[in-house]
């Protein structure tokens, strides 16, 4: 697939290093001003590498893909908290943005976020993949035309992500997420997928056919995608 470059690695850590190398190249070429970030376990070693590197993000604006609805930024399971803990408290950025899952008017919040994205076009967007093929929280069935919107999380995503919530807490079942179209506007997409559990989604991508049921396959329509994975195909 000519739009998809695959880098096969032996470990998440090696994958993280590859991602940092791409970021370094783009920074040095003066092409990285706006960086789209993701959360989740896949991204943790990436942020660890970024933090321990000498990469300078003080002139870079960051946007996050998604945020749960109904938990505040200081809640340890919010994505705002995750970003602060893993990256922003250790590496200064020029400006960081994430959707406000506590906004009273969620539709207005989506419009606000999408407007910010239009004003600050993404140079690179990091993406993880859900076991069900979601990208950001764009679950199976999401339209390719979608922009930042409210989503009902699927049972598959709730089952996977509820491991991070303690027993006496209920995990949010709704979230705000950049849409497929918002993501596809990024000039460069870097997709990280490690472990057997991501294999089915990657197989769908490499099969080369776009399907609404596997949102990751929308990436087949993007001109510049790099997949970093420990799975061999």
Residues annotated as part of the active site: 66, 132, 134, 139
Restricting to residues 170-209, name those near ligand F6R by CB under 6 A.
Answer: none
Q: State which residue, 38 or 110, has the beta carbon closest to ligand F6R.
A: 38
**Piece of 5-13, 26-34, 132-140, 204-212 that binds ligand F6R (CB under 6 A):** 132-140
Any contact of residue 78 with ligand F6R (CB under 6 A)?
no
Choose which of 34, 65, 110, 202 interacts with ligand F6R (CB under 6 A). 65
C-alpha–C-alpha distance, residues 227 and 233, integer Å: 12
Choose which of 26, 66, 123, 139 interacts with ligand F6R (CB under 6 A). 66
Task: Tell how far CA 231 is from the center of its chain.
Answer: 19
3-state secondary structure of 43: helix
In the 8-state DSSP scheme, what is residue 220?
A: G
- Asked if 69 and 175 count as a contact pair (C-beta separation under 8 A), the reply is yes
Any contact of residue 38 with ligand F6R (CB under 6 A)?
yes
Q: Residue with the closest Cβ to ligand F6R?
A: 128
CB of 214 to ligand F6R, least distance (A): 13
C-alpha–C-alpha distance, residues 218 and 208, integer Å: 10
Choose which of 136, 175, 191, 201 interacts with ligand F6R (CB under 6 A). 136
CB of 197 to ligand F6R, least distance (A): 8
**Piece of 101-109, 133-141, 205-213, 216-224 that binds ligand F6R (CB under 6 A):** 133-141
Q: What is the full DSSP assignment across 51-83?
A: HHS----TT-EEEESEEESSS-TTSTTSHHHHH
Residue with tokens 């590498």, as numbered in its chain: 49
How many residues comprise the chain? Answer: 233
C-alpha–C-alpha distance, residues 75 and 86, integer Å: 14
CB of 30 to ligand F6R, least distance (A): 27
CB of 105 to ligand F6R, least distance (A): 23
Give the β-pairing of 174-177 and 66-68.
antiparallel
Burial class (CB in 10 A: 0-12, 13-18, 19+), 171: middle
CA atoms within 13 A on the CB side of 114: 19
Restricting to residues 109-128, name those near ligand F6R by CB under 6 A.
Answer: 128
CB of 28 to ligand F6R, least distance (A): 27
For ligand F6R, the binding residues (CB under 6 A) are 38-42, 65-66, 128-130, 134-137
């Amino acid at each position: 697939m000519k739009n998809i470059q695959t880098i096969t690695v032996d470990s998440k850590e090696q994958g993280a290093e590859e991602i940092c190398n791409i970021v370094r190249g783009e920074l040095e070429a003066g092409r990285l001003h706006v960086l789209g970030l993701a959360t989740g376990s896949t991204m943790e070693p990436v942020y660890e590498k970024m933090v321990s590197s000498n990469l300078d993000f003080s002139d870079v604006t960051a946007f996050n893909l998604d945020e749960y609805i109904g938990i505040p930024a200081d809640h340890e399971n919010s994505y705002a908290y995750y970003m602060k803990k893993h990256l922003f408290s250790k590496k200064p950025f020029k400006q960081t943005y994430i959707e406000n899952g506590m906004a009273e008017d969620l539709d207005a919040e989506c419009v606000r976020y999408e407007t910010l994205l239009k004003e600050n076009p993404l140079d690179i967007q990091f993406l993880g993949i859900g076991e069900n093929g979601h990208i950001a929280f764009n679950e199976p069935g999401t339209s390719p035309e979608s922009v930042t919107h409210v989503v009902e999380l699927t049972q598959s995503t709730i089952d996977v992500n509820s491991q991070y919530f303690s027993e006496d807490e209920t995990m949010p079942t709704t979230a705000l997420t950049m849409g497929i179209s918002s993501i596809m506007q990024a000039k460069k997409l870097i997709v990280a997928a490690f472990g057997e559990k991501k294999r089915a989604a990657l197989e769908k991508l490499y099969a080369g056919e776009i399907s609404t049921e596997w949102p990751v396959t929308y990436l087949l329509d993007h001109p510049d995608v790099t997949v970093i994975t420990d799975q061999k195909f």
